[in-house]
């Protein structure tokens, strides 16, 4: 079954074509980083307009790369929640029109569930995390732990009470004037740092399955206040912040997995591209007897393949949408 997936929930326009859920025939992502860079963050109205311009050529490129004609597509899937309202609306309207014109089923996909699905995307079945497993979702908008009973049944265990992990990376990078997007900039700065870390707090590390990152961000701001910071100090702060954030995420995830007796753990979402987080979760997880599952680097960030891939499982359960499908921010 050939499914076309469309993702426009934030600032990346993603279009992909998958076969039977797991095989990615083509995936194209148009990043808007350069458009938003002068503003230091995503401007929703500008992002929506860019999605409108990006979608038609991306669909053509994706079909061309996969050597599939539009009429051969069996279903159209689109992210309909959560995200920026205007951005979601562009994708949803586009997908509805396409499904209607092609007389093919439409599938509305939850962006967070799609991220969770990336742990199995474009991998043979024996490399998928078995059910139930624990998923740590870390992105620009969300930080949450889920027990994944099947690709379409997720139980929410806990999440951030304030900033998301990626949001904290982005805000700290802004304070350090490292540019946008902040996550990759902090990682780059922190690479190869061999000095002593500043001991930043690890909020809520010992309790429950919820997270808090705003206290860590404030601690960084307070540390910098009234200080002269040269290049070396920026590197030390970036590395120490990353070290603390990674430590909280890994410690809490492993504790949750232990308490819930889940031996398989996946790491998904934009922040799962972070090398320190990947390494630390893999190292400490495997030491603790857990199996760790990471998405391919191309699928950490927002993309259409995760939407098309998950839609296959929705379709198998008969969960299609009609033309009243709406975007829910």
Q: Would you tell me which residues interact with Zn ion (CB under 5 A)?
A: 139, 302
* Secondary structure E strands in the chain: 2-7, 12-19, 23-31, 75-81, 106-110, 133-138, 143-150, 153-159, 264-268, 291-293
* Residues within the interface to ligand KG4 (CB under 6 A): 10, 139-141, 166-167, 169-170, 181-184, 187, 269-271, 273-274, 301-302
DSSP state of 29: E
**Closer Cβ to ligand KG4, 213 or 314, answer by number:** 213
The region that residue 199 occupies, defined by phi over 0 for left and psi between -120 and 50 for alpha, beta otherwise, is beta
CB 155 within 8 A of CB 224: no
Question: Of these partners, Zn ion, ligand KG4, none, which one is at the site of residue 183 (CB under 5 to 8 Å by kind)?
Answer: ligand KG4
Give ∠ CA 303-313-106 in degrees, rounded to 5. 70
CA–CA separation, 304 and 282 (whole Å): 26
Report in angstroms how near the CB of residue 115 gets to ligand KG4 at its nearest. Answer: 6
For residue 147, give every residue at least 6 positions away whose Cβ sits within 8 Å of its Cβ, in sequence order, or none.
132, 133, 134, 135, 154, 155, 157, 260, 262
CB 73 within 8 A of CB 3: yes
**Closer Cβ to Zn ion, 66 or 310, answer by number:** 310
């Amino acid at each position: 079954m050939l499914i076309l997936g469309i993702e426009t929930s934030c600032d990346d326009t993603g279009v992909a074509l998958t076969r039977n859920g797991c095989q990615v025939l083509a995936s194209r992502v148009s990043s808007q980083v350069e458009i938003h860079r002068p503003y230091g963050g995503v401007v929703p109205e500008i992002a929506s307009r860019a999605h409108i311009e990006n979608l038609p050529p991306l669909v053509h490129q994706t079909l061309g790369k996969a050597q599939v004609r539009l009429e051969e597509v069996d279903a159209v899937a689109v992210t309909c929640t959560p995200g920026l309202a205007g951005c979601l609306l562009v994708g949803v309207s586009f997908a509805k029109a396409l499904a209607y014109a092609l007389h093919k089923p439409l599938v509305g996909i939850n962006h967070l569930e799609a991220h969770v699905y990336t742990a199995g995307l474009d991998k043979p079945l024996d490399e998928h995390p078995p059910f139930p497993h624990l998923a740590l979702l870390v992105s620009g908008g969300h930080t949450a732990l889920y027990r994944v009973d099947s690709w379409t049944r997720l139980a929410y265990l806990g999440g951030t009470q304030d900033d998301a992990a990626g949001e904290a990376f982005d805000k700290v990078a802004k304070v350090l004037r490292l540019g946008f997007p902040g996550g990759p900039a902090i990682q780059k700065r922190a690479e190869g740092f061999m000095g002593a870390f500043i001991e930043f707090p690890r909020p809520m590390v010992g309790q429950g399955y919820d997270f808090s990152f705003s206290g860590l961000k404030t601690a960084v701001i307070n540390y910098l206040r009234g200080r002269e910071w040269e290049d070396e100090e920026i590197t030390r702060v970036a590395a120490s912040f990353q070290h603390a954030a990674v430590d909280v995420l890994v410690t809490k995830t492993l504790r949750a997995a232990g308490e819930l007796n889940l031996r398989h753990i996946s790491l998904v979402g934009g922040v799962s591209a972070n090398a320190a987080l990947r390494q630390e979760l893999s190292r400490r997880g495997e030491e603790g007897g857990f199996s760790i599952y990471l998405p391919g680097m191309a699928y950490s960030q927002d993309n259409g393949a995760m939407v098309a891939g998950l839609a296959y499982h929705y379709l198998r359960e008969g969960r299609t949408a009609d033309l009243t499908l709406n975007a829910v921010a």
